[in-house]
Structure 1
């Protein structure tokens, strides 16, 4: 587009009052929508921070976290080396369709916990 075509298009836009009115309404609604969404995001953030602060100040939660911290060294290492590979192989739906459900669960149990359920 050259300069004269742009000038003509701008003049046509200036002369079209209905188009200007529609654009004003569109931009006004868009701005109000952005202000509303921004306010909702701020409200959700503040409400989340308040909820987390309330949960963190709860005495029962603090006791449970302390108990968990103290109990972690006592938990035995039950997961074997081949467990993760077996879990990944069972992520395919084809494996579940080809072999029976009980067999898949048994092999997963053997790989992760080393138990023989036979």
Structure 2
């Protein structure tokens, strides 16, 4: 009688394959979490740009005499995360008071890091 050869995988080969599969899945999960975080950060920046544009349009629609600096905070939801945006506006007279330079700065904090976006616009006396 000879040695009977069996087909299939041994338990050790199966365990090694499972460990490699788990390592691969962990790497993919880490990549997905990084992509999700970057996407959320970009959405938060996009929201800050929208806020700055809203304030720019608000100032453009105001009477020249009513344009004044203001500081306030608003909260917006970005992907189930409430982010507080701080809006600081400064108004400077130029050309002998015929033009006002309006600088809108929107600041926010995401995961312990501070970000800001700045927009400038001009308002001419009517």
Structure number with larger C-alpha Rg: 1
Same fold (TM over 0.5): no
Larger helix proportion of the pair = 1
- What is the TM-score normalised by the length of structure 2? 0.36
Larger strand proportion of the pair = 2
- What is the TM-score normalised by the length of structure 1? 0.38
